[in-house]
Amino acid sequence: MRIRFAIFAAAATCLALAACSTNKLEQCPATSALVDTATDPVWQGNPATYIYFVQITGTKRDCDIEKYNKNVTSSLDVSFLAWRRPGPAANYTVPIYVAVTTEGRILKKFTYSVQVSFESGQGATQFTQSISSIPLTVEQDKRAADYGILVGFQLTRAQLDYNRRAGRYPK
């Protein structure tokens, strides 16, 4: 009888924790990568002689919400895929941005640098970068879920134009 009770109690605790976690994420600002800035093409001279590409492949969010003073601190794990022609070992620094938005307006924008490393002969690599402490003060009559967090690469005009011409998905 005690074993059944212990199993039931453990299962109930797991369900309660899972429900709490899901509910908490639903209250956090949504995150996504802006399509036009989700790929960073880096070339030498012209796009035909590219050095490497880096693409944002996903975001995972979390947040802490202070109910009484309406402050939210979000954190992100951003997943990347980078590829190049195999060659010698190389390290690159890639600039990204994180923007807090609501109703089509950018409220805050933060810039970060991401390190991309290729080992000798390596043509592709996947990695994740954690970004913590993205602050937000929720306006009167709003909820944290009314806000969004956009992630993308800081691109030159030529890179942005290339992404728009190339499109996000192969035809």
- The DSSP H or E segment spanning 84 is none
The per-residue pLDDT for range 25-64, each reduced to its tens digit, is 678 899 999 889 999 999 887 777 889 999 999 999 998 8
- Whether the per-residue pLDDT at 23 is higher than 90: the answer is no
The per-residue pLDDT for range 136-149, each reduced to its tens digit, is 888 888 888 889 99
State both tokens at 99. 């923007």
Question: What own/partner pairs with CB < 8 Å and gap ≥ 24 does 23-26 have?
Answer: 24/63, 24/65, 25/61, 25/62, 26/145
SS3 25: helix
Question: Pairing mode, if any, of strands 30-33 and 148-153?
Answer: parallel
What is the pLDDT, as a whole number, of residue 27?
81
What is the pLDDT, as a whole number, of residue 169?
53
The per-residue pLDDT for range 59-106, each reduced to its tens digit, is 999 988 887 778 898 999 999 999 999 999 999 999 999 999 998 899
What is the pLDDT, as a whole number, of residue 53?
94
More confident residue, 28 or 171: 28
Query: How many angstroms separate the CA atoms of 78 and 151, rounded?
Result: 8
More confident residue, 75 or 12: 75
What is the pLDDT, as a whole number, of residue 16?
39
Beta-bridge partners for 59: 78
What is the pLDDT, as a whole number, of residue 48?
77
Average pLDDT over residues 7-34: 58
- 122 touches 86 (CB < 8 A): yes
